[in-house]
A and B are shown apart, each in its own frame.
Chain A
Amino acid sequence: MNDADVKTLEIDGHQISARRGQTILEVARENNIDIPTLCHLDGLSEVGACRLCLVEIKGSNKLQPACVTAVFESMSVITDSDRLNRHRRTILELLFAERNHICSVCVANGHCELQTLAQQQGVTHIRFPYRYPELPVDASHERFTADHNRCILCTRCVRVCAEVEGAHVWDVSGRGINSLVITDLNQDWGSSSCTRCGKCVQVCPTGALFDKSKIGSGHPKYPDFLVNLNLMREAR
């Protein structure tokens, strides 16, 4: 490794070193600096879509997503400021108002990344009018259920199915506020080409995709398997 491959930077006032090509998010997490994320998941490709990981970079007025922004020499990053937290709270509120997220009756209550982030960010109420869209619940699969009311369109299911399982059963249909994750060409999950591996359920941050056997019992998810799986595949 030569000098050019090592970068030194500052995150929230901490002096930190990093390898060239690493993202701000990777480096921050290595150094126990937490940046909230929803669409990012270790082991999947980045889409930079949830915008929760936006950070300030000294010298630029534009906010940058930490998950896709590579570190550069002597950069100075701020991950925690009034401006950023205001945006993060607004984004979380937008998600809660977008669909029907009712934690008390959700299978993922207590194990939901959206809920946890909202608690961390101190979201106590939603300023925006709830949209109450009428959305379907697809319970046609013998093992799993897709409840679109709880989907935040992070597309982790789409990516894990295409990139890790290699089946590409999930994708997004429609656009804008009418976007919906679908299986195959918008047919029931139960009659789709699903391999029943369950990876999408494990990576889903909310109760949108869940295991039918866990109804009523609280539904912890274990997305960490992805990193180990990727490691094993690389080793082989």
Chain B
Amino acid sequence: MNIEELEQIADSVRGANASFDHEVNVCMGTGCLSQHSDRLKDALAKAADASGKKVLVRRTGCMGLCAAGPLVLVDREHVLYQHSRAEYSERIVAGLGGEPVAGLQCNLREHFDEQVHIVLENSGRIDPEKIDDYIARDGYKALLTAITEMKPDDVVRQITESGLRGRGGGGYPTGLKWSTVAKAVGDQKYVICNGDEGDPGAFMDRSVMESDPHRVIEGMAIAGFAVSASKGFVYVRAEYPLAVSRLSTCIRDARRRGLLGSGIGGTTFNFDVEIRLGAGAFVCGEETALIASIEGKRGTPRPRPPYPAVSGLFDKPTLINNVETFANIAPILRKGARWFASIGSERSKGTKVFALTGKINNTGLVEVPMGIKLRHIIEVIGGGVPDGHTLKAVQTGGPSGGCIPADMLDIGVSYDALIGVGSMMGSGGMIVMDDTSCMVNVARFFIEFCMTESCGKCIPCRAGTAQMYTLLTRICDGSATMDDLALLEDLCATVKEGSLCGLGQTAPNPVLSTLKYFRDEYIEHIVHKRCPAGVCSMQVPAEVMA
């Protein structure tokens, strides 16, 4: 396969698409599939056949607005139908080329117009399992250009200049990581894609793997070229069966097209990818635990250094990046580092995909430029809090992040700004809370999560999170004293500073941030035995106390 052949495939797909008068895209991501969008697609295809119109009915990945699913996008007319069902298919087909079906249309212009799609540029536009669809949208062009026209160092330089930072949460500069692995000495090196997304309320990586798997594979292959690795592993949690099956199909198709395997693009570059399934441990998202898991060992972290860049998988230099990081690579090479660096804020470049969940109208995925105000994401793009409730706080960064109170939401989204307010970017979960959420209970929820997901290797995380959970339960049921609160704060310090890996080191963040901004709620629980949000049921009711 060379670039000319790639262009030929792209042209033939574009030609085939042009022979249709209408394109009907049906979202078949996990969210819409759970509402039977597969039946909807079949019904649409049938209705299209019966109508005699030239209609291309296409299965696509996630369109983002999961709250309104199943979604149908009529491409050329730019009409989006929400809550579509198989029964509506004849009406939808009848409306093609004419007036859109009344009452079915989704008119959330501000939701879509304010977004900038780089990672999600193909999501909802292509059939994720058709490699030719991806090629028609400039897929694999970046890979073939890189291996035929660039040196590995040039690729690393492009990534460095783009200012891309790791999208898994830590925000480590991607170019720096790549150059470290590129410089590491070793006859065998590995590339790992971390798809063990486990934060409660986060589904960005799942969506990317389901909607545009070739983008991830292409990013990995480019990385393999840049750091001289010939083997890649995608580590996906087994709870994402659709992502696993689509990735498997895509890896097979890429091999058939000669875009993976030996001698890619007629060069001497070899690269192949294998899938490894996670067995349901959150801690395996931590890079050293993930590597142990791929090696077939118990998935527990080990102290760093040595970092995986020097000694990783099977003790070889290993590049490990998140799904979304790899999804950014091909566009950066295609459009240039300067283009990418022009998007975003000063120290956080590009865009970030967030999963909006919780008390928000437009539940789903959004991709926004870095630097955009949190309030704007929630109130404009997210459509605000439903049912007339008031916004109270936003939780970012999952169990490692913190709660940001409503009055601080005018900060711009960036790695540094979020850390500045006691939270973190994390992988992109954004849980919105309103006045019916009890912040102590929220903290307890996240600590319970960390307690059950702790691997048990180091004492501060294993026993510390369990004790934090006990103390928080006491606060929630009204049996705690102020001494318990002091003890909890003390324990937070030891778990944060003493734990071995990121799971334990960041586990106290939800407690620390709610203590910082919502301390009065803790006091209310402890002293007045009252839950201000009315969530916690107290062992000792307030009237008995009085």
Contact = CB atoms under 8 A, between A and B. Distances in A.
Interface of A: 46-51, 54, 62-63, 65, 68, 70, 86-87, 90-91, 94-95, 97-98, 127-129, 131, 152-153, 171-172, 174-179
Contacts of A86: 490, 493-494
A63 B498 contact: yes
A65 B487 CA distance: 24
Given A54-B498, A175-B454, A94 B470 contact: no
Given A51-B500, A54-B498, A90-B490, A178 B456 contact: yes
A174 B459 contact: no
B460 A91 contact: yes
A51 B494 CA distance: 10
Most chain A CB within 10 A, of B452, B459, B465, B490, is at B459
A47 B374 CA distance: 41
A84 to B, nearest CB: 10
B459 A91 contact: yes
Interface string B459-487: 11011111100100000000000000001
A63 B497 contact: yes
A91 B462 contact: no
Contact of B467 (A128, A171, A179): A128
Nearest to B505: A62
Given A48-B302, A90-B490, A176 B459 contact: no
A172 B466 CA distance: 19
B363 interface: no
Contacts of A176: 451-456, 462, 465-466
Interface in B246-295: 281, 283
A177 B466 contact: yes
B466 A48 contact: no
Contacts of A174: 456
B420 interface: no
15 contacts: A47-B302, A49-B457, A49-B458, A54-B497, A62-B497, A70-B305, A86-B494, A90-B494, A90-B498, A95-B463, A153-B456, A153-B462, A175-B283, A178-B456, A179-B455
A46 B453 CA distance: 23
Contacts of A98: 462-463, 466
Nearest to B467: A128
A152 B456 CA distance: 11
A97 B456 CA distance: 15
Given A48-B302, A48-B303, A94 B460 contact: yes
B528 interface: no
Contacts of B281: 175
Interface residues of B, number: 32
B298 interface: yes
A171 B490 CA distance: 32
A46 B304 CA distance: 12
B211 interface: no
B487 A91 contact: no
B497 A49 contact: no
A94 B457 contact: no
Contacts of B487: 127-128
A87 B497 contact: yes
B527 interface: no
Contacts of A175: 281, 283, 453-456
Contacts of B458: 48-51
B451 A49 contact: no
A55 to B, nearest CB: 12
A32 to B, nearest CB: 25
A14 B451 CA distance: 40
B196 to A, nearest CB: 15
A90 B454 contact: no
Given A51-B499, A63-B497, 9 more contacts: A49-B457, A49-B458, A51-B460, A54-B497, A65-B303, A87-B494, A176-B465, A176-B466, A179-B462
Given A87-B497, A90-B491, A97 B457 contact: no
Interface string B435-452: 000000000000000011
Nearest to A89: B494
A128 B470 CA distance: 9
B485 to A, nearest CB: 13
A49 B288 CA distance: 14
Contact of A97 (B452, B460, B463, B493): B463
Contacts of A47: 302, 457
Given A65-B303, A97-B463, A177 B457 contact: no
Contact of B303 (A68, A94, A178): A68
Contacts of A94: 459-460, 463-464, 467, 494
Contact of A95 (B451, B459, B491): B459
A118 to B, nearest CB: 13
A179 B493 CA distance: 23
B490 to A, nearest CB: 7
B497 A177 contact: no
B455 A50 contact: no
Contacts of B490: 86, 90
Given A128-B487, A129-B470, A177 B459 contact: no
Contacts of B499: 51
B460 A177 contact: no
Given A47-B302, A172-B456, A177 B500 contact: no
Contacts of B493: 86-87
Indicate the member of A54, A62, A90, A95 with the most B CB atoms within 10 Å: A90
A143 B96 CA distance: 82
Nearest to B452: A176
Contacts of B500: 48-49, 51, 65
Contacts of A97: 463, 467
A91 B498 contact: yes
Contacts of A46: 303
B301 to A, nearest CB: 10
A162 to B, nearest CB: 11
Contacts of B470: 128-129, 131
A68 to B, nearest CB: 5
Contacts of A51: 458-460, 498-500
